[in-house]
């Protein structure tokens, strides 16, 4: 079509349509976010200020900050926060540390590297439920495979109760959650490593730098932004981890693995205290936002310093 022959009115309508096209394309995403995310969050925040009694037909009763006052005075809530932070920090250290080590390994040339990289992604690709069921079988005190290895340790004469001892239960939950997540972190770190200019390593080697010095002064500064982003993602993923903990221990033994997500589930669906559960959920939401905001602010400041 010859645009020169099109009337000014038609050209104006065409420009208006092109101007509205990005908004029309984004409209389904905005509607989805409002309906599936913002509205439930708003309902949860509102519910935390009410007393909900599902057994009766009465509407929710407005009670103000009573749920939050109860939460702040509850020592078990602070124990849950402590357990959540311990679990989150341990998963970050183990998962991202394992991802960094495997990424450094797979960044080196060796035979069958492509097959090794593909095999690395298998734990991340497996569904959580069958993975946890397999680990429960492996850790069974009666016929678990891990007990065979444990009996080889001097001084171990009985099969350990892996999921019945608080410290052992927390350790295994952290290991399984890290094993499930570290391939993703390894893949992201590997992509960041491959973007580091090789000329920097070659120049440093000419100056006599050791492998540790190369890692400390070239590798880490080059991928520091990626590592910070992964810390944020790992914090969020670990903070909201539910399936592995629920299937492995259910928050036990004696609350040793009860994170804030498990506390919300138990409060709402075991004790049917929905109002208090929503208040705990809002508290967890705020904590996750604070953590994410802290790391994002740190990353923005660093990017400004570099610029």
Q: Please, are residues 187 and 123 in contact by the beta-carbon 8 Å criterion?
A: no
Give 6's pLDDT tier (boundaries 50, 70, 90). Answer: low
Q: Residue 306: its pLDDT value, please?
A: 63
Q: Residue 98: its pLDDT value, please?
A: 93
Compute the distance between CA of residue 148 and CA of residue 82 in angstroms, rounded to an integer. Answer: 33
Q: Please, are residues 88 and 287 in contact by the beta-carbon 8 Å criterion?
A: no
CA 168 to each of CA 89, 97, 98, 175, 233: distance values in angstroms, whole numbers, following the listed order: 17, 21, 20, 10, 26
Q: Residue 11: its pLDDT value, please?
A: 58
pLDDT (average), residues 198-226 = 86
Q: Residue 123: its pLDDT value, please?
A: 87
For the stretch 256-285, pLDDT in tens is: 999 999 999 999 888 888 889 999 999 988
How far does Cα 132 stand from its chain's mean position? 17
CA 21 to each of CA 24, 29, 95, 281: distance values in angstroms, whole numbers, following the listed order: 5, 14, 42, 38
Compute the distance between CA of residue 87 and CA of residue 170 in angstroms, rounded to an integer. Answer: 8
Q: Residue 9: its pLDDT value, please?
A: 63
Give 12's pLDDT tier (boundaries 50, 70, 90). Answer: low
Q: Residue 3: its pLDDT value, please?
A: 47
pLDDT (average), residues 166-182 = 92
pLDDT (average), residues 156-161 = 78
Compute the distance between CA of residue 128 and CA of residue 174 in angstroms, rounded to an integer. Answer: 14
Compute the distance between CA of residue 192 and CA of residue 211 in angstroms, rounded to an integer. Answer: 18
Q: Residue 1: its pLDDT value, please?
A: 47
Residue 60 half-sphere exposure, CB side, CA atoms within 13 Å?
17
Give percent of the chain above pLDDT 90.
29
pLDDT (average), residues 289-305 = 77
Q: Please, are residues 87 and 170 in contact by the beta-carbon 8 Å criterion?
A: yes
Q: Please, are residues 226 and 188 in contact by the beta-carbon 8 Å criterion?
A: yes
What structural domains does the chain harbor? Answer: 76-306 (1.10.3720.10)
């Amino acid at each position: 079509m010859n645009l020169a022959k099109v009337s000014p009115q038609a050209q104006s309508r065409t420009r208006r349509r092109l101007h509205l096209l990005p908004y029309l394309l984004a409209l389904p995403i905005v509607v989805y976010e409002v309906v599936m995310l913002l509205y439930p969050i708003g309902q949860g925040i509102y519910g935390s200020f009410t007393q909900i009694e599902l057994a009766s037909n009465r509407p929710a009763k407005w009670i103000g900050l009573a749920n939050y006052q109860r939460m702040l005075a509850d020592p078990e809530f602070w124990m849950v926060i402590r357990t959540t932070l311990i679990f989150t920090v341990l998963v970050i250290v183990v998962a991202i540390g394992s991802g960094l080590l495997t990424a450094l390994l797979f960044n080196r040339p060796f035979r069958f590297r492509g097959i090794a990289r593909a095999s690395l992604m298998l734990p991340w690709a497996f569904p959580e439920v069958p993975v946890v069921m397999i680990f429960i079988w492996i850790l069974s005190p009666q016929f678990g495979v891990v007990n065979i290895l444990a009996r080889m340790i001097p001084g171990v004469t009985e099969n350990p109760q892996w999921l019945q001892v608080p410290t052992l239960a927390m350790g295994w939950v952290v290991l399984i959650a890290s094993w499930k997540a570290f391939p993703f972190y390894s893949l992201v770190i590997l992509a960041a490593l491959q973007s580091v200019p090789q000329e920097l390593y070659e120049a440093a080697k000419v100056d006599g730098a050791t492998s540790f010095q190369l890692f400390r002064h070239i590798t880490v500064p080059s991928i520091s932004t990626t590592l910070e982003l992964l810390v944020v993602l790992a914090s969020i993923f670990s903070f909201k981890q539910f399936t592995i903990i629920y299937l492995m221990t259910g928050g036990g033994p004696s609350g040793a693995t009860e994170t804030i997500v498990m506390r919300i589930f138990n409060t709402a669906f075991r004790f049917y205290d929905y109002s208090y559960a929503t208040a705990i959920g809002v508290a967890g939401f705020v904590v996750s936002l604070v953590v994410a905001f802290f790391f994002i602010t740190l990353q923005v400041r660093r990017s400004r310093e570099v610029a």
